[in-house]
Each structure stands twice: as structure tokens, then as C-alpha cells.
Amino acid sequence: MTKPVGEGYETVGKKGFKDLLVWQMAKNLAMRVYRVSESQDLKKDFGLCDQIRRSAVSVASNLAEGDERSSDRDSVRFFYMAKGSVAEVRTQIQIACETGHLRKPEYDSLEAEYEQLAKMIGSLIKVRSQAPSH
């Protein structure tokens, strides 16, 4: 299966999914969510903090699993799950901000980056959905 070059999707090298720009961004954002949730009032609300962390990790995990699948159709299914997890994170960080558990500047920054990530995943879905089946 030839993997096309597109927004956030670079030709796979020796590292496989770790070479994907979209995966790198998702992983870095998940790490940032962990750091932010440790340093702010968010950790006081264990349920919300845990859910945000799980959703953030799920984005990168589903991108990795999707890229390792043997068919584009199966890969795209996991990429859609990753995009859904982005929507979860965006909802949860907005709730955290509105309840005073996340500072507005941190929310604005995370929201903008997750919005960009969603667009990158959307581009990846489009490219892989149009890829010829092998």
C-alpha cells in the first residue's frame, strides 16, 4: 500500500506512524494536556481531569492504530475515531474553562491547536479515503 503525501501525512519511514506529523502533533498536545492538568485547578476535579487526559491520549493512539492497519478503509475508521476524540477534548476543555478549572489563555491556546489538529485529521481522512485499494 502506497501512503500518499498530504497535509500532516508524510511518507512513512522507519518509524511508521511516528513519522506522521499529525500523530506528532496529537502526541505533543496530549503531553501538554497532562502538564496543564497537573499545574492548574483542573486536577482538583479528578473526573473531568481524567476524562480530558483519556480523550487527549485517545487521539494519538487512534492515529497510530489506524496507520498500522492493513487497509485504507480500516485506517480511515480509526482516523474518524481520532477526530471524534478531538471533539471530546475540545468540549471538555471548554467545560473546564467555563467552570474555572482551566485558565482562559491556556484554553484559547489548546482550542486553537486542537482545531488545527482536527483539520489535519480531516485532510488525512480525505487523502486515505481516496487512495486506490490494494
Q: Report yes or no on 82 lying in a domain.
A: yes
Rounded Cα distance between 134 and 131, Å, is: 9
**In this structure, is residue 3 part of a structural domain?**
no
Domain-embedded: residue 106: yes
Sign of the alpha-carbon torsion through 35, 123, 81, 77: negative
Contact 57, 85 (CB under 8 A): no
What is the rounded CA–CA span in Å between residue 46 and residue 118?
26
* 46 within a domain of the structure (yes/no): yes
Sign of CA dihedral 56, 61, 62, 63: positive
Q: Which of 67, 74, 54, 69 minimizes the C-alpha distance to 121?
A: 67
CA 129/CA 125 separation, integer angstroms: 6
Q: Does 8 reside within a domain?
A: no
Domain of 111, in residue numbers: 16-128
Residue 105 lies in a domain: yes
CATH of residue 40's domain is 1.20.1440.60
95 touches 110 (CB < 8 A): no
Q: What is the mean pLDDT of each run of 10 residues along the chain (134 residues)?
A: 46 72 98 90 91 98 95 94 98 96 96 98 94 63
Q: Is 72 part of any domain?
A: yes
